[in-house]
């Protein structure tokens, strides 16, 4: 993650802490929620449990952003630590399962390889840029479906759009994203 992005996230967290800035929170949510969900699922959480845990982590950000200290860590590190700790707490509270000290969720996580981080950030940046080219009515639906994990039926209900419209707009958006990313890959291999 670039220093500029780390500083931007620190400023957004400060805006949430000081002014309860909803736009700053929404930007942080859009960026971190899918990454936290993916991380928790890699720790063997069911998608619905991971989504619920992400909501808890983001509520911590909303209520306790003032505790984040950019001099000690990046916001990403802070949020992933909160997620990891919440996961461990949930495992301890679950009386139906005995804790396995070898459970990967209870072990300190290994830092990701720099190459993997770079590739993931580069891919994420390409997807973000491609998303900017989508019409608003498609981009909004894609964000709801894939960043917030909402079903097509839930999106249709929330937006008042017919289910078929939601499905076709998402399908069109993916088609556009695929073409954009394939063109981007072609441009990258030519350099």
DSSP assignment string, 12-39? HHHHHHHH--HHHHHHHHHHHHHHHHHH
- DSSP single-letter state for residue 70: T
Tokens of 149: 């994990």
Query: Residue 18 burial by CB count (10 A; 0-12/13-18/19+): exposed, middle or buried?
Result: exposed
User: Tens digits of per-residue pLDDT, 118-164?
Assistant: 677 777 778 778 888 888 888 888 888 877 778 888 888 888 899 99
Q: Please state which architecture CATH assigns to domain 111-191.
A: Orthogonal Bundle (1.10)
User: Tens digits of per-residue pLDDT, 10-28?
Assistant: 999 999 999 999 999 999 9
Confidence (pLDDT) at 189: 44
pLDDT, mean of residues 175-182: 85
Q: What is the pTM of this model?
A: 0.50
User: What whole-number distance in Å separates Cα of residue 10 and Cα of residue 16?
Assistant: 10
CATH number given to 1-110: 1.10.1740.10
> For the CA atoms of 31, 38, 93, 104, what is the dihedral angle to 10 degrees?
-130
- Nearest one of 119, 41, 42, 121 to 74, comparing CA atoms: 121
Count the neighbouring beta carbons within 10 Å of the beta carbon of residue 141: 25
User: Tens digits of per-residue pLDDT, 28-64?
Assistant: 999 999 999 999 988 888 899 999 999 999 999 999 9
Q: Where do the structural domains in the chain lie, given as residue ranges?
A: 1-110, 111-191
pLDDT, mean of residues 88-100: 67
Confidence (pLDDT) at 190: 42
Confidence (pLDDT) at 144: 81
Higher pLDDT, 191 or 66: 66
Burial 34-47 (b: 16+ CB within 10 A, else e): bbbbebbeebebee
Confidence (pLDDT) at 25: 92
């Amino acid at each position: 993650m670039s220093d500029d992005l780390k500083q931007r996230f620190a400023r957004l967290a400060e805006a949430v802490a000081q002014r309860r800035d909803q736009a700053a929170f929404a930007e942080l949510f859009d960026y971190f929620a899918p990454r936290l969900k993916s991380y928790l699922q890699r720790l063997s959480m069911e998608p619905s449990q991971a989504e619920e845990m992400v909501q808890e982590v983001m509520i911590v950000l909303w209520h306790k952003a003032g505790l984040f200290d950019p001099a000690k860590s990046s916001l990403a590190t802070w949020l992933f630590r909160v997620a990891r700790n919440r996961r461990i707490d949930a495992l301890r509270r679950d009386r139906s399962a005995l804790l396995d000290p070898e459970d990967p969720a209870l072990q300190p996580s290994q830092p990701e390889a720099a190459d993997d981080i770079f590739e993931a950030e580069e891919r994420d940046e390409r997807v973000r840029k491609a998303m900017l080219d989508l019409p608003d009515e498609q981009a909004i639906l894609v964000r709801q479906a894939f960043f917030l994990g909402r079903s097509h039926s839930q999106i249709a209900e929330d937006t008042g759009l017919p289910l078929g419209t939601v499905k076709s707009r998402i399908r069109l958006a993916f088609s556009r994203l695929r073409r954009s990313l394939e063109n981007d890959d072609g441009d990258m291999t030519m350099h």
